[in-house]
A and B are shown apart, each in its own frame.
Chain A
Amino acid sequence: MVVPAHPARLKQLRNILTKVFLQFISIQLEPICYIILSLALLLRLRIKGQRKIRVLLGYYLLSAAGLSYASWLVFDNLNSGASNNWIYNLLILPAMLAIGYYFHQTFTGKISRHLSMALVAVNLIYSGLRNLTYTRIIIFDSVGYSLLSISVSMLCFAYFYQLLRNVNENKLWADFDFWIVSSMLLYFLGGFFIFLFYNILDSNTYEERELLSILWSVHNVLLFLSSLIMLYGCIWINYRNRS
């Protein structure tokens, strides 16, 4: 005999599931995205071993490991009160170095190469100085992330400019750099606005903390979409090369 579920219990179950889902998106999705990104680059490396891809892969693997630890710290935080902000703050440096190197190798023009080096230098100087002290490193560096995001977005636009200036016979879809840069643009341009909001909002009130949590979920969704774009691009190019 089937006992009909009580509407109140169903609602409670739905609330729990929603909470778990939102918690998954805001906490666990991020390292998973970096694992997907690493997977896409590993697949690419099997076909074409490029140094810039290896460097980017190194950064994604480091991020996957660091952010897995960061998400574990979130649960641990409930007991010990440990913060994971320092991991994010430290990851700015390898992020800008790896992405800057990738663009430096991808650009063909002198000005674009200088731009990539200049942006790397600005980010490194800012983050290096900002995170020198313990009191600063444990506070999330939203300005640093905004700077990183706008820098990478600028490099993405410079790449697209280069692409339109140097049109050739090859299909755009067959160019893995196009997929990488498109996925970066989606994530970093979206991330830029989110990090800007982060800078404005404080986490003093419950409402603001809730809003920050939602914003972080949106950030993770963007990262997830970005990783899917890169994985799709890699699989599509592999499939096309085989057929």
Chain B
Amino acid sequence: MDKLPQQVLIIGISSVFLLIVAVGIILLVFIYQKRQLIYVREKEQLKVDFEKQILESKLEIQEQTFKNISQEIHDNIGQVLSLAKLTINTMNIEDTDTLPAKIDSSKQLISKAIEDLRNLSRNLNTDYITDLGLAVSIENEIRLLKNAATYQVDTVVTGEVYRLHHQQELIIFRIFQEVLQNIIRHSQASVIVVSFLYTPGIFSLQVSDNGKGFDINTLEQTENITPGIGVRNMRYRANLIAAEFTINSNLGKGTMIEIMLPVNIT
């Protein structure tokens, strides 16, 4: 007769134990799902923020591009075409001595304007950069700079060249263009060195000049108030592709800018 209560007791204890474990696991699932909900919401918020940042960046790039086009047309193409117009205006059909030279000069000026327009179009065309690749696009930019004969431009390529994701290439190219613009406008440099580093884990693009340099700390402070050389903008763009943007500069000792992108090339 003692056996029955003993069995009942064991079964009772076992049932309570099972109940506790079951409740524990259900509770765990409940907590997990609650945390999962928070996680998904946070992730969605991050995605929205990121998309907003991308959009802002795109608008900024677009604004900068319009500014560049306007400047290029005004300073370069406009000037050349004005000169061509002036030359044509001064042409006298009866003056056979100067006429051929003036026609020739006009032809040359119009050809230059066409060439400048072509270069401008190439620089702005995203598909063109995507098709050519980062290395070739940068080489083209360097070639144009060399043609101006104002700078000595050296290129150093270390490692075997490979292609990056087209969006990464485009953003790096735009940063490079901005760096070149800054060198031309502000640096008063005579030598520019562009170094590429291709390793299986890291892609790096380094641009250095021997210009007048600047104080980075002062720049960081003034950039918040007035538009400077767009360091913040460049750093921001680099962040978009998870690249590291480094700038080193000292007064009178030139500037070095580096974009380092982690890659996984097998």
A residues in contact (CB < 8 Å) with B: 160, 163-164, 167-169, 172, 182, 185-186, 189-190, 193, 207, 210-211, 214-215, 218, 221-222, 225
Q: A163-B28, A168-B36, A211-B6 are in contact. List 15 more A-B contacts (CB 8 A).
A: A160-B28, A163-B32, A164-B31, A164-B35, A167-B38, A168-B39, A169-B40, A172-B36, A182-B25, A185-B21, A186-B18, A186-B21, A214-B6, A215-B10, A225-B18
Would you give the shortest CB distance from B80 to chain A, in whole angstroms? 58
- Min C-beta distance of A13 to chain B, whole Å: 20
| Total B residues in contact with A, Cβ cutoff 8 Å | 22
B3 touches A210 (CB 8 A): yes
Given contacts A163-B32, A164-B28, contact A218 B39 (CB under 8 A): no
Contact of B29 among A172, A185, A207 (CB under 8 A): A172
The prevalent SS among residues of B at the interface is helix
27 A-B pairs (CB sep. < 8 Å) = A164-B28, A164-B31, A164-B32, A167-B39, A168-B36, A169-B36, A169-B39, A169-B43, A172-B29, A172-B32, A182-B25, A186-B21, A189-B17, A189-B21, A190-B17, A190-B18, A193-B17, A207-B2, A207-B3, A210-B6, A214-B6, A214-B7, A218-B11, A218-B14, A221-B14, A222-B14, A225-B18
Q: Which residues of B lie under 8 Å from residue A215 when comparing CB positions?
A: 10
Chain B residues proximal to chain A, CB less than 8 Å:
2-3, 6-7, 10-11, 14, 17-18, 21, 25, 28-29, 31-33, 35-36, 38-40, 43
Write out the residue numbers on chain A whose beta carbons fall within 8 Å of the beta carbon of B28: 160, 163-164
Question: Whole-angstrom distance between the alpha carbons of A169 and B40 in the complex?
Answer: 7
**A172 vs B21: C-alpha distance when bound (angstroms):** 17
Q: How far is the CA of A164 from the CA of B33 in the complex (A)?
A: 10
Is the CB–CB distance between B14 and A167 below 8 Å?
A: no
Closest to B38 in A: A167
**Could you tell me the distance between the alpha carbons of A159 and B139 in the complex, rounded to whole angstroms?**
54
Q: Chain A residues with Cβ under 8 A from B14's Cβ? A: 190, 218, 221-222
